[in-house]
Amino acid sequence: MRMTKKNRLFALAAGCLCVVLGACQSATPAKRIAANPVLFNSLPEQHRTMVQQGLICQGMSQNAVLLAWGSPDNRATGQTRDGRMYERWEYTAMQPVTTVHAGFGGWFGPGPYWYPYGGSGLDTTYIPRCAASVDFEDGQVARWMHNGR
């Protein structure tokens, strides 16, 4: 059986989609450690143990946080009250928000037929929310917030 040009293009597009979706999967700490063994081995023993569990602690380096939690979705810099600079990493999660919509009805066609045009039901939309943030001062974790990530 010979593949047509259309089938070859479809197979190529499907293959590309699989590659893209595979690259979008969130990595686990184990996968990040396996991809960066030298970086992981340069961490102190206590930090290595925490990184393997996906945990962070005060005093950890940015590299340790990258291995434990992955790349942040947003980065920002700021200044403390005493004038010291800090960097904040933010991690987002998508939160479902469900709303109810109701349609409007009216008369339809000749005769006494009620037709509920517009319909009604539930709609779910996903909005980003801050799931976690980490503040670094002098390249080390100064404080963090974790909200169900």
Region class of 39: left (phi > 0), else alpha (psi between -120 and 50), else beta: alpha
pLDDT of residue 27: 83
Quote the pLDDT of residue 1: 47
Encode pLDDT of 46-76 as tens digits.
Answer: 999 999 999 999 999 999 999 999 999 999 9
pLDDT beneath 50: ranges in the chain:
1, 18-22, 24-25, 149
Task: Please give the pLDDT value at position 134.
Answer: 97
Angstrom distance (rounded) from CA 17 to CA 13:
6
Retrieve residue 55's tokens. Answer: 């945990």
Supply the pLDDT for residue 25.
45
Counting Cα atoms < 13 Å in the Cβ hemisphere of 41 gives 5
pLDDT at position 146: 87
The Cβ-side half-sphere exposure at 104, using a 13 Å CA radius, reads 1
Spatial distance between the Cα atoms of 73 and 132, rounded to a whole number of angstroms: 10
